[in-house]
Structure 1
Amino acid sequence: MTDQLAGRLRGGAVIVTGAGSGIGRATALAFARAGAHVLGVGRREEPLRDTADGHPGIAFLAVDIRADGAARAIVDEVIERWGRLDVLVNNAGATAMMPLADTDARRVDDLFALNVTAPSVLAHAALPHLRAGRGAIVNVSSTYGHRPLPGAAHYAASKAALEQLTRSWALELAADGIRVNALAPGPTESEALAAAGLSEAAVERIKRDEAASIPLGRRGTPEEVAAWIVHLADPAATWITGQVLTVDGGLELT
């Protein structure tokens, strides 16, 4: 992280959801190293504590972002601690392998509740404070938000929805000076596949297949993705809004 970047973000307040592992943890650490105050949010306290142990600039709040009142509690925690909110990173989400033959309404509802509804409600709660500081929202999508994914169409659709929210919010909030962008990572080392309920053998098979399909020949690391999330939130990116930046080793080109 350059000194210049650290200077621009120093003292700002950032919310990162899904901060207990993977991209969320790497993002929380990247913002903190740039001098920002970070509230890491997630469902499980112990992984969040591990993230916070990585840097004194990180605090955490264990809460299910889908719960009633969770969005308000998250925003209130930031304002109580630091008196401001500059950046919201909507990173929390779930992957669901769900072929059409196995699709049912509850699984679809659960997926969209986490990947689409919760980020929307949190952005709503954050909006007055983002307006006050002419802040930024970064939504974490996926290469599969704009690329077909047979066998997991509803996951892809939820990320496509997040990308369209990004574009629409960018236009809606431009007059307030709020920038809204999305970062779309390709297959990245994280706990997402295991969390989807796949066996260890299935996870390893998918990882091998994904690496073989990526032009650069490997899966990404959370740190590679986090660096671009921070850059999209950087106050110096003053003329970038409504964009979906794909960081996937060239996968979307295939």
Structure 2
Amino acid sequence: MDFADKVVLITGASSGIGAATAIHFSKQSAKLSLIGRKENNLKKIALYCEKAKGNKPLAITADLTDDGDAKRVIDETIEHFGKLDVLVNNAGVIGMGGIKNTSMEIYDNVMATNLRSVFFLTSLATPHLIKSKGCIVNTSCIASNKPSTMTLSYNMSKAALDQFTKCVALELAPDGVRVNSINPGFVKTNLLKDIGLTEDQLELFIKNVVGNMPLKKPVETDEIAALIGFLASGNAKSITGSCYFIDGGSNLK
């Protein structure tokens, strides 16, 4: 796969899946617009990507829950590159708690980040993607399809994101724009540290989750990046409205 002369915008690019995806596309000669809230991390990833093929990414520090920031992301990307070919909606947060022990603050934060920001950014990007006959890849989760008593708001947001993927795919198909999602299972990223577990609790959590996975291994970020790259490429030109599970078989149980 080669993305020379393709402009790829990746949100949540400063760490985890987003960073791995940025690195993957940089090796395919893509022109990158990298979005993240952690400026120092974002600059490090941008520098690493630049070394791959010499293409200097556009690094934009932004909070996508802020409508002004979301608009600035699209405006600066188009001003810098002149077009947009691929939108990777990857930014997301986890919120702990079920209906008995959550809060509206947690709910609002999860929905604002995982769903509303995706909706708004995609709406802003759509006219440009129609012009380029581009595509969208959303980072969802196996949680969209598996109930949990621990992460109610998060699961709801990802289930809604899958439906968003399908509806937008149906709407934009006549315009030549493809829309898909990837639904990872357990991935060991910094996102897990944000749920408030101690290191010991986190290790026990990881051990239990991996132990219940049929393949007995966590999903690697570079595997997910490769799947995103495939779905964004011409090799997937007939694929739209699909949710691709990459979960070590977890959805089988």
Q: TM-score higher than 0.5 here?
A: yes
- Percent sequence identity is 38
Q: Where in structure 1 are there 5+ consecutive unaligned residues?
A: none
Is 1:170 matched with 2:172? Answer: no
C-alpha separation between the residues in 1 aligned to 2:170 and 2:192?
34
Secondary structure, counterpart of 1:14 in structure 2: strand
Counterpart for residue 17 of structure 2: 23
* Residue pair 1:185, 1:248 contacting (<8 A) in 2 also: yes
TM-score by length of 1: 0.95
Counterpart for residue 53 of structure 1: 47
Counterpart for residue 73 of structure 2: 74
Counterpart for residue 205 of structure 1: 204
Is 1:215 matched with 2:214? Answer: yes
- The one-letter amino acid paired with 2:77 is V
Which stretch of structure 1 is more off in the superposition, 228-237 or 17-26? Answer: 228-237
Q: Where in structure 2 are there 5+ consecutive unaligned residues?
A: none
Counterpart for residue 116 of structure 1: 115
Which stretch of structure 1 is more off in the superposition, 144-153 or 20-29? Answer: 144-153
The root-mean-square deviation of aligned C-alpha atoms, in Å, is: 1.0
- The one-letter amino acid paired with 1:142 is C
* Residue pair 1:94, 1:196 contacting (<8 A) in 2 also: no
C-alpha separation between the residues in 2 aligned to 1:153 and 1:110?
13
C-alpha separation between the residues in 2 aligned to 1:194 and 1:215?
24
Secondary structure, counterpart of 2:235 in structure 1: coil
C-alpha separation between the residues in 2 aligned to 1:136 and 1:161?
19
Counterpart for residue 100 of structure 1: 99
Counterpart for residue 32 of structure 1: 26
- The one-letter amino acid paired with 1:227 is A
- The one-letter amino acid paired with 1:83 is G
C-alpha separation between the residues in 2 aligned to 1:41 and 1:193?
20
After superposition, the C-alpha distances for 1:2-53 in whole angstroms (9 at most, x for unaligned) are: xxx11xx211001100001110000011111111111111111011011112
- After TM superposition, the structure 1 = structure 2 runs for residues 236-251 of structure 1, keeping only pairs within 5 Å, are 236-251=235-250
- The one-letter amino acid paired with 1:32 is S
Which stretch of structure 1 is more off in the superposition, 185-194 or 49-58? Answer: 49-58
C-alpha separation between the residues in 2 aligned to 1:70 and 1:237?
31
Secondary structure, counterpart of 2:234 in structure 1: coil
C-alpha separation between the residues in 1 aligned to 2:180 and 2:67?
26
* Residue pair 2:106, 2:153 contacting (<8 A) in 1 also: no
- The one-letter amino acid paired with 1:43 is R
C-alpha separation between the residues in 2 aligned to 1:31 and 1:113?
27
Q: Which aligned runs of 4 or more in structure 1 are off by greater than 2 angstroms?
A: none
After superposition, the C-alpha distances for 1:148-173 in whole angstroms (9 at most, x for unaligned) are: 12211211110000000000000011
After superposition, the C-alpha distances for 1:104-124 in whole angstroms (9 at most, x for unaligned) are: 212111110000000110001
Report the Cα offset of residue 100 of structure 1: 2.0
C-alpha separation between the residues in 2 aligned to 1:71 and 1:96?
22
- The one-letter amino acid paired with 1:12 is K
C-alpha separation between the residues in 2 aligned to 1:27 and 1:202?
28
TM-score by length of 2: 0.95
Counterpart for residue 138 of structure 1: 137
